[in-house]
Structure 1
Amino acid sequence: MAFTRSRLFTLATLLSALTVSGSVFAHAHLQHQYPAADAAVTASPQAITLNFSEGVEANFSGIALTGPQQATVKTGKAKRNEKDDKQLIIPIEEALKPGDYLVDWHVVSVDGHKTKGKYQFSVK
């Protein structure tokens, strides 16, 4: 059975689709966080904790935390949990006042892929 041009094109398209769809799954996706998205916490958290679907590189990952009136909140250097390379911990260096906060995060997974996102929470 000879390969015709249309069969070769179809085969090449299928292989390309499989390759591209496999790389989509290679990113570190945020699975859960503390404080949780849209949560209202009663006390100021001491850190932002982000849990991902795969390991992350702390040296190339971090957050920008903004509070009421878009004020920037000072945070410490992002660190990985020593026992879980999927968990990123970012210390908050000042007590959070009541109000709404935005976490704008970015990570690089251990395989080099970049992912970013945002979520918000509030302090009562």
Structure 2
Amino acid sequence: MNIAISSEMKTYVARILVAGTGIVGLAAPAWAHAHLKTSMPMTGSTVQASPTRISMDFTEGLELAFSGVSITDNRGAPVSLSEPVLGAPDDTELSAAFIKPLMPGRYSVAWHALSKDGHKTEGKYDFSVAP
């Protein structure tokens, strides 16, 4: 069986292949952003006692100079933290110690991260300390 393909059909197929390759190429950089995987205290959790530090694990290694975390209490007052540090062998963990124990209540965490390949991400979550 011999199937003849016209030159117009070949051009159409070639255009679809080029467009598909371009779409995949544009999507690939989005996969490289540093997204929050886990945190301690965990997102939305209630801990029974004041944690001594906050720790966040990301999907990519981070650039410390352009990554950070801030925490506010339920009145919006900032919570004092030590300078953040990177951990894990591949710089995927960002952590900071609490300067003082946290009082019972709800806390909001805001983080920003720059992955090693130059992509910025940011996010927020809450946790609570039980009375």
Is the aligned partner of 1:99 residue 2:105? yes
State the SS of the aligned residue for 2:51. Answer: coil
Is the aligned partner of 1:44 residue 2:50? yes
- Kindly provide the CA deviation profile for residues 50-105 of structure 1, in whole angstroms up to 9, marking residues without a partner as x: 00111111221111201121111111211101634111112222221110001011
1:12 Cα offset (Å): 3.2
Partner of 1:76: 82
- Please point out which of 11, 23, 46 is paired with 2:29: 23
- Please point out which of 62, 65, 79 is paired with 1:56: 62
4+ residue segments displaced more than 2 Å: 1-4, 6-12
**What value does the CA root-mean-square deviation take over the aligned residues?**
1.7
Is the aligned partner of 1:121 residue 2:127? yes
- Answer yes or no: is the 8 Å Cα contact 1:28–1:108 preserved in 2: yes
Structure 2 residues without counterparts, runs of 5 or longer: 1-5
CA distance in 1, matches of 2:83, 2:22: 39
Is the aligned partner of 1:86 residue 2:87? no
Which moved further from structure 2: 30-39 or 79-88?
A: 79-88
Q: Identity of counterpart residues, as a percentage? A: 37
Structure 1 residues without counterparts, runs of 5 or longer: none
**Number of residue pairs aligned between Structure 1 and Structure 2:** 123
Name the structure with the higher strand share: 1
